[in-house]
């Protein structure tokens, strides 16, 4: 599948997700940015979408030195979500991921607003809460939303199975390099550089038994996407 087709699938999946999450009563609003931390992760496909947006709208300079602007102890995944699901399904122990709660704000956040809002990573889009996290200290998320989030993350990795997953800043830093972008857009990526991990297809979806029936309509929608 070529990159244009992957980007089209990504857009359609995000539209499905937005319709799904709009059914919930959420406290999320503009200038509420407690969830905008340096720990956000994404796939290379999502990073490429951001790059393409900045190339068209201006603002590519935001990518320069992105990794240097982010907290040095930002979250960097050791494995992708599909790899983790695979290990768990086989009865193995996935590595314990360490997330630094003191990693500070996302490096692109300006005055508590996201300049990339329309093309923000799915990990930002799916971070929602029924109550303001600033008041509660945590996100109050319906367990079914958590399950749906995992399923979307797994499918997003699946369509970018030849790409990488990593911290937002590391993926953007990687794609800021024209040679890396060229290798990515032509499907010629090799082993990931330090800080990024390889994606893989979905082998098993992480759906708890009590959500299996409820999630079927969404799965049907995702699987009916055609480009
Ligand atoms: S997830 Fe929490 S911090 Fe983020 S916008 Fe929603 S209420 Fe605000
Ligand atoms: S990319 Fe935007 S929405 Fe995501 S964490 Fe950064 S500022 Fe927040």
Q: Tell me if 145 CB under 6 Å of ligand 2.
A: no
CA distance 51 to 55: 6
Q: Tell me if 114 CB under 6 Å of ligand 2.
A: yes
CA distance 9 to 170: 23
Which has the closest alpha carbon to 167: 217, 223, 97, 113?
A: 97
Mean pLDDT over residues 13-34, rounded? 96
Q: Tell me if 171 CB under 6 Å of ligand 2.
A: no
Residue 186's pLDDT band (cuts 50, 70, 90):
very high
Does an H or E element contain 3, and which?
A: helix 3-21
Ligand 1 atom nearest 29 alpha carbon: 5
Instruction: Give first-to-last CA distance, the chain, whole Å.
Output: 10
Ligand 1 atom nearest 133 alpha carbon: 2
What tens digit of pLDDT does each residue of 121-176 get? 999 999 999 999 999 999 999 999 999 999 999 999 999 999 999 999 999 999 99
Helix spans in 22-101 (H): 44-57, 66-69, 81-89
CA atoms within 13 A on the CB side of 34: 14
Question: What does DSSP assign to residue 166?
Answer: E
Residues facing 113 on adjacent strands: 110
Mean pLDDT over residues 181-203, rounded? 95
Ligand 1 centroid from CA 147, angstroms: 18
What tens digit of pLDDT does each residue of 89-111 get? 999 999 999 889 999 999 999 99
CA distance 16 to 176: 29
Q: Tell me if 9 CB under 6 Å of ligand 1.
A: no
Which has the closest alpha carbon to 119: 169, 15, 49?
A: 49
pLDDT higher than 90, residue 226: no
Ligand 2 centroid from CA 124, angstroms: 6
Q: Tell me if 108 CB under 6 Å of ligand 2.
A: yes
Report pTM. 0.95
Q: What are phi and psi of 169, to 5 degrees?
A: -65, -40
Residue 10's pLDDT band (cuts 50, 70, 90):
very high
Ligand 2 centroid from CA 44, angstroms: 16
Contact 42, 123 (CB under 8 A): yes
Give the start-to-end residue ranges of the domains of the chain: 3-223
> Is residue 141 helix, strand or coil?
coil
Beta-sheet pairing, 196-198 with 41-43: unpaired
pLDDT at position 2: 94
Helix spans in 127-177 (H): 133-136, 143-159, 168-175
């Amino acid at each position: 599948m070529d990159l244009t087709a992957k980007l089209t699938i990504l857009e359609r999946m995000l539209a499905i997700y937005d319709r799904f999450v709009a059914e919930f009563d959420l406290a999320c609003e503009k200038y509420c940015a407690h969830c905008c931390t340096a720990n956000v992760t994404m796939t290379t496909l999502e990073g490429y979408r951001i790059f393409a947006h900045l190339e068209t709208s201006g603002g590519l300079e935001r990518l320069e030195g992105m990794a240097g602007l982010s907290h040095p102890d930002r979250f960097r995944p050791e494995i992708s979500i599909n790899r983790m699901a695979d290990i768990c399904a086989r009865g193995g122990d996935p590595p314990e991921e360490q997330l630094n709660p003191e990693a500070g704000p996302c490096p692109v956040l300006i005055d508590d607003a996201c300049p990339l809002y329309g093309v923000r990573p799915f990990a930002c889009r799916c971070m929602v809460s029924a109550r303001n996290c600033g008041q509660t200290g945590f996100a109050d998320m319906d367990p079914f939303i958590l399950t749906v989030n995992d399923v979307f993350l797994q499918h997003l990795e699946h369509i970018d199975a030849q790409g990488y997953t990593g911290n937002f800043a590391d993926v953007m830093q990687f794609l800021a390099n024209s040679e890396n972008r060229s290798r990515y857009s032509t499907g010629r990526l090799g082993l990931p550089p330090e800080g990024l991990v390889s994606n893989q297809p979905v082998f098993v979806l992480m759906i708890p038994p009590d959500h299996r029936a409820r999630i079927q309509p969404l799965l049907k929608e995702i699987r009916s996407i055609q480009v």
